[in-house]
Structures are given as C-alpha cells and as structure tokens.
A and B are shown apart, each in its own frame.
Chain A
C-alpha cells in the first residue's frame, strides 16, 4: 500500500527559529494535507494542497506540493512555544481514506 515517509522524526529548536519538515511517497498523491496534533487532541488540518507545484501559506506556515506529486514540505517561520506538537502529512487514496506519515514531533525551547 501507499506509504508516507516523514522526516525528521523529531526536532528540538529554539523559539524564533524556522522549521522545515518534509514528506515523501513512493507513489503519486493528488492531494497533500498537513495536520497538527496537540497532546490529547485529534489532528487539526493546517494546510491542504491540491495542485503539483502549489505553494500555500497559512500565517507563519508555508507548504508546497512537489512537482513530482511524490513529496511535500512544511515550513514554520519564527517558531513560538505553541507550535509544539506532532505534525503529520497525509494523502488520500482513491476512496479518500487518508494515509498518514509517521509524524514530526516538534519541541520548542523558550
């Protein structure tokens, strides 16, 4: 089945630093989604990408849909303590069932 490889698995950064994480797949996705999960909560959709090459921003977050349709990255600029959490990439298959990456755990040091 489809698999999404997400890296890095974890990041421990200083407040104010920029963050970059990415997701790769062995197969093509027509949509890339980035979710954030806070402790004890469900994943919350941050950014949705629908076209190859698309670059989309949501506040301090920017995500891009790779032109090969097999990868995507998420950048967070000027990180703040509330950015702490687990970030997941996800892609839907033909039936819209989501396949999730393994997640990137972000820790921010004030």
Chain B
C-alpha cells in the first residue's frame, strides 16, 4: 500500500459525459501528479500540482482539468468524454529526501467510456 488513495476504482460512463476522479496523497506530501495509462500511449504525465498550485503540464487535453484543494487532495475532471479517453488514470504523490524526489502511485481509476 503506497498510502495514496484514489476513488472510484472503476468508472463506466458514456461519450459526452463528465467525470471527476479523486486522489488523496500520502500524509504530508505536497505534490500530486496525474498520469494516464492507455494501451496505445503507455503511461503519460498529465499535470502536477504543488501545495494547491499548478506546477507543470504535460500531455493534458483542454477537455481535462485538475485542481488541488487546501487539504491537498486533488481532483481530475474529464469532460466531453470520448471513446479514446478510456484508460487507467493514476495519481502519484511525492516526497523529497536528501534532495531526491520519489513518486508513489495510487491504485488508479479505470475509466471506460462507452
């Protein structure tokens, strides 16, 4: 158990819909990263938040957005869903020790868009 929790574990929805994925980082971790894992694209970085502020963006679509709340949990919002958005979505939180940052991944949310 990495200490990172994600809900829901599974989500089935229809094209055009909007969903929200939730992540709670490990206690004390200020950074949250979101990744998408699909069969054709592999694991890809989407976006990072640090202590409530967006820090970095990767291959995140404009239909997707995220935020990190004062209690440090984060939500990833996916809107106008398309079939190709079906994937595993992971969040990770990180700790810095001795100058090195290590990311710990949650169990993921499996999204199926029908």
Interface of A toward B, CB cutoff 8 Å: 31, 35, 40-45, 48, 50, 88, 90, 92, 95-103
Chain A nearest CB, measured from B49 CB (Å): 12
Partner of B107 from A42, A98, A101 at Cβ < 8 Å: A42
**Other than the known A95-B55, A103-B43, what 11 A-B pairs have Cβ atoms closer than 8 Å?**
A40-B107, A40-B108, A42-B108, A43-B43, A45-B103, A95-B48, A96-B101, A97-B45, A100-B42, A102-B42, A103-B42
In whole Å, how far is A71's beta carbon from the nearest beta carbon of chain B?
Answer: 19
Chain B 14-57 near chain A by CB (<8 Å), digits 1 or 0: 00000000000000000001010000001111001000000110
Partner of B100, one of A48, A95, A97, A103: A48
Some 22 contacts from A to B, beta carbons below 8 A apart, are A40-B108, A40-B110, A41-B107, A42-B4, A42-B90, A42-B107, A43-B90, A44-B105, A48-B100, A88-B43, A90-B43, A92-B101, A95-B55, A96-B48, A96-B94, A97-B33, A97-B45, A97-B58, A98-B33, A98-B45, A102-B42, A103-B42
Q: 0/1 per residue, B92-114, Cβ < 8 Å to A?
A: 10100000111111111010000
Number of B positions contacting A (CB below 8 A): 25
How many Å from the CB of A75 to the closest CB on chain B? 22
Residues of A within 8 A of B94 (CB): 96
